[in-house]
Each structure stands twice: as C-alpha cells, then as structure tokens.
C-alpha cells in the first residue's frame, strides 16, 4: 500500500476503519484464533547501541545490568515451560548490535537454537544485524522467523538511534528473506513520532516483498534512565487504529499486539483483536519489562471466545524450510 492510500484510510471515521479492517480480517483469518508467543531474553543488557527507548543500552543508567548468554539448559527449561503453558512460538532476544559467524557467542546461540527447534514450537530469534551467511546458519539451525523491527519511519529513525541506520535494518531483513526465514518486523508507537511517521512505517512494511509474516505493534514502555523515559503516553484508540491499518495493509500478516498491554484495559485489547490483532506476547515477562499474567490473558481470550492458534499455521517447520529451499536451488 502506498502512503496516499494509507493517508486516506487513516482519515476514515474510527468505526468505518474498524469495520473495513474487520472484513479483511475475517476474509483471511476466519478462525477466531490468537497466536501465543513467549519471549525470553537470552542475553540481557550491556548493548553497544543507543536506541533511545531501550533499557538494555549500555549508554543509559536504567538499572538493567549486563548479563552473560544464558546456558542452553536454562533456555530449554524456559522453552519447555512456555510450551506447557500453551505457547506455540518461542522468541529469544539478545541485546547485541548483531552477530558474526565463527564467533563463540554465535556458535553457542546456534547450539541453543538446535535444542529449541526439537520442541515442535515455532522458533524466533532477534539478535540484531545479520549478514547473508549468518542468516543461512540460523535457518539451518532451525530458526523459523527472525524479528528485526524498523521501529518507526526512515525520517524519524535518526532521532531515535544514531549507532546504526534504517538502511542497516533493511539490509538485515533482506538477508533474512533470502535465507528463507519468515520476517517478523514492526515498530513502536510513542517515540515522539507524528501520525505521518506511523503511516510511512506501514508503507515500508507492506511493500516488503512478501510483506512480513508477522508485524509486532509495540507501545513504548517508558524505561527510567532512557532519553524517552518521559515520553507522552499513547492513547489506546490510536493503538487500535494502527492495528486496523496494519490489518488492511497486510492481510496475511499475524499482527501482534505487543509491548505495552499492561497499560491497556481489557476492553481496549478486545477492540484491538476486533480490528485485526491475532497474536500476543504471552507470559509474565517481555525482555526486561512486565507483561500481563498468563491467567489474566487466558481469561481475556475465553471472554472473547478466542482460542490459541496451532503452531506452523503460516510458517513452515524447519524440516519443510530445508526442503523448500532445496527445491528452489
């Protein structure tokens, strides 16, 4: 979708926009299901980058200490617990600028991934920048999706981060696609952006070819000590609008109502599901921040007659990925 189309959609009255998004949602996702994804920070804090929203940057005093990479056993224990709780996608995050092949830490992560990929869950990682070879090795180890957000518009990005560029982000996304992993890419609301920046972000996401398999829409969780600690809160109706626009612009994407649900009422979240959200982060913790409890989320889904989505609904499992890649060569 181009910016002009997104602008005219965004000017529609709230309920008309919601109705249109609902129609697209029902045509593509008729099953009333929500994907449950569990996050685990496998390497917390001490990051070289200066993303002004992030508690894990070493440049700010946020109270988040730098930790070492978790052991494979610790990660597998968390992954098994997530599966037992009903989660179907396990997402591992590391506070790194990126990874390089042949380094010990990358080899250790590949080993962790091989272990998690045996648990029959979708395996997602977010490790920062990747080259073509790193992407290939991740895919071979069993990663089904790679999360790498563009976060905001290219115009606003330099106001938020100075240690890497928007184009660096796009390059990594290209390597992820070329390696045959699903792309998980979205952004954050509340970074001091204008309404037009949000539309530009959607324009870029929806013009990735193919559009991302999943699109996390995060709401800034202001982190004490970061430059955005005192940012203005985002109105929940604006979050719902963004979900509706994402649903219309990317009909086949899993649109994930991501960070910031702790600040949204049950009713606002229900509207977001109505508008096209069909995925959440599930479990008490995001990376460093809080998330609603499992009990609370299961109760909400039950009230809304929504059921958890089975794994591999739209992402081929690792074995199929390898077959598909071979068939293409």
Sequence-ordered alpha helix ranges (H) in the chain: 3-10, 14-28, 72-84, 104-116, 132-141, 157-160, 166-178, 195-207, 236-249, 266-275, 294-303, 318-328
Cβ proximity of 109 and 94 under 8 Å: yes
- Only one residue has tokens 């002004």, namely 52
Q: Which of 17, 37, 40, 95 binds ligand SF4 (CB under 6 A)?
A: 95
Contact flag: residue 95 with ligand DTB (CB under 6 A): no
Residues 256-275 that bind ligand SAM (CB under 6 A): 259
Q: Which stretch binds ligand SF4 (CB under 6 A): 47-55, 105-113, 115-123, 210-218?
A: 47-55
Residue 33 parent element (H or E): strand 33-43
48 contacts 97 by C-beta, under 8 angstroms: yes
Q: Which residues are catalytic?
A: 47, 51, 54, 91, 124, 184, 256
Q: Please give the Cα distance from 207 to 81 (Å, whole number).
A: 37
Helix (H, G, I), strand (E, B) or coil at 261: helix
Exactly one of 144, 288, 309, 321 binds ligand DTB (CB under 6 A); that residue is: 288
The two three-digit tokens of residue 35, written as one number:
């994907």
259 lines the binding site for ligand SF4 (CB under 6 A): no
CA 66/CA 216 separation, integer angstroms: 25
Q: For residue 319, with 0-12 CB atoms within 10 Å meaning exposed, 13-18 middle and 19 or more buried, which class applies?
A: exposed
Q: How far is the CB of 315 from ligand DTB (least distance, A)?
A: 16
The least CB distance from residue 104 to ligand DTB, in Å, is 23
DSSP 8-state secondary structure symbol assigned to residue 263 = G
Q: By CB under 6 A, is residue 309 in contact with ligand DTB?
A: no
The token pair at 124 is 């997602």
In whole angstroms, the minimum distance from the beta carbon of 325 to ligand SF4 comes to 28
Q: Which is nearer to ligand SF4, 135 or 275 (CB)?
A: 135
Among positions 212-231, residues that touch ligand DTB (CB under 6 A) are: 216, 218, 221
The residues facing 123 across adjacent strands are 90
Nearer to ligand SAM, 29 or 106 (CB): 106
Using CB under 6 A as the binding rule, whether residue 51 contacts ligand SF4 is answered as yes
Residue in the structure block whose two tokens are 């709401």? 219
Among the listed residues 41, 56, 218, 258, the single contact to ligand SF4 using CB under 6 A:
56
The answer to whether residue 151 forms part of the interface with ligand SAM (CB under 6 A) is yes
For position 202 contacting ligand DTB by CB under 6 A, the verdict is: no
Which region among 48-56, 131-139, 208-216, 241-249 touches ligand SF4 (by CB under 6 A)? 48-56
Query: Residue numbers of the site for ligand DTB (CB under 6 A)?
Result: 39, 55, 91, 93, 126, 147, 149, 186, 216, 218, 221, 258-259, 286-289
Query: Residue numbers of the site for ligand SF4 (CB under 6 A)?
Result: 47, 49, 51, 54, 56-57, 95, 97, 128
């Amino acid at each position: 979708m181009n910016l002009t189309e997104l602008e005219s959609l965004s000017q529609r009255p709230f309920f008309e926009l919601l109705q249109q998004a609902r129609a697209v949602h029902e045509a593509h996702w008729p099953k009333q299901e929500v994907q449950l994804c569990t996050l685990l920070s496998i390497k917390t804090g001490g990051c070289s980058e200066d993303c002004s929203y992030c508690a894990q940057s070493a440049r700010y005093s946020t109270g988040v200490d730098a930790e070492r990479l978790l052991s494979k056993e610790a990660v597998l224990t968390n992954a098994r617990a997530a599966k037992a709780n009903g989660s179907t996608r396990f997402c591992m995050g590391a506070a790194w600028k990126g990874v390089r092949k042949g380094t010990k830490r990358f080899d250790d992560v590949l080993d962790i991934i091989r272990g998690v990929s045996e648990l029959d869950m979708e395996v997602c990682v977010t490790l920062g920048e990747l080259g073509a070879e790193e992407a290939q090795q991740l895919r071979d180890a069993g990663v089904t999706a790679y999360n790498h957000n563009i976060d905001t518009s290219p115009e606003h990005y330099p106001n938020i981060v100075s240690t890497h560029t928007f184009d660096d982000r796009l390059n990594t996304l290209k390597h992820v696609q070329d390696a045959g992993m699903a792309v998980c890419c979205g952004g954050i609301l509340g970074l001091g952006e204008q309404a037009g920046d949000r539309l530009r972000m959607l324009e870029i996401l929806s013009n990735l070819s193919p559009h991302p398999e999943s699109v996390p829409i995060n709401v800034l969780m202001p982190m004490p000590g970061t430059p955005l600690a005192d940012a203005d809160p985002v109105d929940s109706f604006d979050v719902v609008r963004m979900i509706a626009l994402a649903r219309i612009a990317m009909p086949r994407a899993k649109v994930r109502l991501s960070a910031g649900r702790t600040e949204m009422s049950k009713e606002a979240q229900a509207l977001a599901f109505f508008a096209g959200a069909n995925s959440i982060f599930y479990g008490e913790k995001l990376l460093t921040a809080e998330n609603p409890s499992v009990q609370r989320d299961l109760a909400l889904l039950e009230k809304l007659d929504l059921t958890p989505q089975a794994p591999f609904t739209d992402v081929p499992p690792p074995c199929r990925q390898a077959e598909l890649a071979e068939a293409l060569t």
